[in-house]
Amino acid sequence: AGDLMKGKRGLVMGVANKNSIAWGIAQQLHAQGAELAFSYQDEALEKRVRPLVESLGGEPFMVTADVTDDASMEACFKTIEDRWGRLDFLVHAIAFAGKDELQGSFTHNTTREGFKRAMDVSAFSFVDAARRASALMPSREEGGGAMISMTYLGSERVVPNYNVMGVAKAALEASTRYIARDLGPAGIRVNAISAGPMRTLAMAGISGGRTLMKTGKDWSMLKEDTTMEGVAGAALYLLSDLGKSCTGEVLHVDAGFHAVAVPDIEE
């Protein structure tokens, strides 16, 4: 525990269960004194998220936000504005693509609808949330703000079955840079964390996920799985004042996997 986030209020979008990356990040921010609001996709998830949020103690602040629904997003940020009047940071950990699209040939299995949906939920949602969140952030003189989103190496290089999600992550990373430039003069920093494979619900939707996990460890420089601790630590860095001067960045937290071109050769 510490006080790196003391006096800061933030919205965490994307907790579905205890394995969610958003939850790992939230616990770390809470331990550093942040005050948190949580948005969840729908009522079904509310039941699962509530006990987690309650476990942090204090009065739970939870709001619905389906990122594909303008009215729902509007209502979510209105609730935050009414209750807090301001927002210091945003955590975006949301993505979706249909199961049919997350296997086999990208060229043959990507439909117009599937492409649009993956882009809408996984990339545009950050643009939309960033616009709404930035309107509530303090001025540069009063400390500005910070935002992060979650991405994966499939945006830069081809990963089997990741397919349309890789394309959506490329759009998310590019959006991160454009948003960072727009909001920079206001003192708002915008970054992405490119995490190695982690066992979550979203991961379970990717065909061959187990192989991705194993390769992610075996080919990594550290010879270990990406840890929630590492990802949450990176989030703390980027969202706290430790991250000053860092914006428009995609920070890889993947045990060094992204920089390896050829796996170990044993001979």
- Residues marked active site are found at 152, 162
- The nearer residue to ligand NAD, 144 or 169, going by C-beta atoms, is 169
- The nearer residue to ligand NAD, 29 or 144, going by C-beta atoms, is 29
Residues 228-247 touching ligand NAD, rule: CB under 6 A, are none
By CB under 6 A, tell whether 93 contacts ligand NAD: yes
By CB under 6 A, tell whether 68 contacts ligand NAD: yes
Amino acid at residue number 184: G
CB atoms within 10 A of CB 201: 10
DSSP, collapsed to helix, strand or coil, labels residue 188 as strand
Rounded CA-CA distance 116/222 in Å is 37
x/- contact string, 14-53, with ligand NAD (CB under 6 A)? xxx---xxx------------------x---x--------
Quick one: DSSP state of residue 124?
I
**Which residue in the block uniquely carries the two structure tokens 């995490």?**
195
Rounded CA-CA distance 209/115 in Å is 21
76, 150, 235, 238: which one contacts ligand NAD (CB under 6 A)?
Answer: 150
Number of residues that bind ligand NAD (CB under 6 A): 27
- The nearer residue to ligand NAD, 20 or 161, going by C-beta atoms, is 20
CB atoms within 10 A of CB 174: 13
Rounded CA-CA distance 144/105 in Å is 44
* Interface contacts to ligand NAD, rule CB under 6 A: 14-16, 20-22, 41, 45, 65-68, 93-96, 121, 150-152, 195, 197-198, 200-203
